[in-house]
Structure 1
């Protein structure tokens, strides 16, 4: 198949990004600064005229980031922001838990947002954060794989994917600077560009960052090998599992009280 470019974008600042206390906000909106970040991204994104597909996590902050940042492509090419639940954030905190699809229909009524996938069996219980949609490393890994394969089979050739800082490490399989900014190495509205490749061992679809993208953010730094990235991933997955156990224990104690 011809080369396809995936432009990965972390959402703009949401209210949950302003304080730990705000992690208790369910599916928070963008802040005023977040909206300004979207305007800046729109003005500075160099591939706007090439974009022929826009996909986003169904959380409000990601959909609004897509709508505000990629308005020219959406308007000029009559695109819609396609909501893909596999792109949701990794944790089960209220801020990372999506709204009911009927709430989303009301929120984005009259706007170019395609929620059709949200009504399919594949998306059932997408915001319950259990099973396939759980906050475990293995579940997130699987969602990332499904999302990559879904995009690989799309007909578009230049696709913007707006998602979350934590999930982006699983999605791109790049684990550098994971804890630089509250569990992610991605700044709000940062974008990086990738082409598809194949894992030589498993044959699975992977994302390979373009040289231009890596040079823009890393200068002359050499990318880690697949083995080094795998080692970082194992470390991160182990820590996530330990955090999950601690969370469950704390929840159990609180329930008894």
Structure 2
């Protein structure tokens, strides 16, 4: 019996956007990268150790994530003639203006002539991708469901080294890892931080992730990973606290600004 081959995912949080500068800037719709954010992309381009292995790049359709992918992985995009695939499931968790995507038409105008694949975004079933309702709603159940859908979509790809550029809050749902989550910052991931994961095929549906030993070593030395019970306890506590504080409720967040 042959072992099932699944890809390695190199997960990247986007570079600094204007919304990262202040709470007031959370009201900016689909904000761009700051000049410093673009410098962060240049630094990631120089330091990313698996550049020659990358054979697929996927990003949230939000402008800052697509630009992070284009700038940080420009050389491999050009050398291998890759296109950044926009995957709506990877969008951020809240319904704040800064975390809400633009219309398909605006995204298409923004990235006209650039190596970006918007074919998924244009499908009929995705026409409401940025309305933050139903499967796109800013609540834990909906976010967990689309995170799982994204993992399954990626697990079935034939490519072996996939870069996934997404958002700090969503990355905790995507990895199902809440160990370093900060309720103040909304994430434990720094801008342009990357971590690498493989699929844990021992789980029931195989659509769960486990960080590679090399990735853990690069960012946290010999720190021992938490067991499943510890992770579940932290996730439940963190999610409950975040929702009670209005993290997923835009009206309450705006009232605090």
After TM superposition, the score normalised by the length of structure 1 is 0.93
Q: Deviations over 1:188-230 (max 9, x none)?
A: 0000001111353x43411110000001111111111111111
Matched, 1:19 2:22: yes
Name 1:83's counterpart in structure 2: 86
Q: Deviations over 1:164-188 (max 9, x none)?
A: 0000000011101211761111000
Name 2:214's counterpart in structure 1: 212
Name 1:100's counterpart in structure 2: 103
Matched-pair contact (CA < 8 Å) for 2:199–2:210: yes
The counterpart of 2:34, out of the listed 27, 31, 34, is: 31
The counterpart of 1:52, out of the listed 52, 55, 78, is: 55
Residues 67 and 16 from structure 1, CA distance in 2 versus in 1: closer, same or farther, beyond 3 angstroms? same
Matched, 1:156 2:180: no
The counterpart of 1:109, out of the listed 80, 87, 112, is: 112
Q: Deviations over 1:113-154 (max 9, x none)?
A: 000001113323110001100000111100100000000011
Moved over 6 A (4+): none
Name 1:121's counterpart in structure 2: 124
Give the drift of 1:237: 2.3
Matched-pair contact (CA < 8 Å) for 1:137–1:240: no
Matched, 1:239 2:241: yes
Matched-pair contact (CA < 8 Å) for 2:196–2:215: yes
- Partner Cα distance (1:214, 1:224) in 2: 12
Matched, 1:182 2:178: no
Instruction: Compute the RMSD of aligned alpha carbons.
Output: 2.1
Residues 141 and 107 from structure 1, CA distance in 2 versus in 1: closer, same or farther, beyond 3 angstroms? same
Matched-pair contact (CA < 8 Å) for 1:5–1:195: yes
In the alignment, structure 1 segments of 5+ residues that lack a partner are none
Give the drift of 1:249: 7.1
How many residue pairs match? The answer is 253
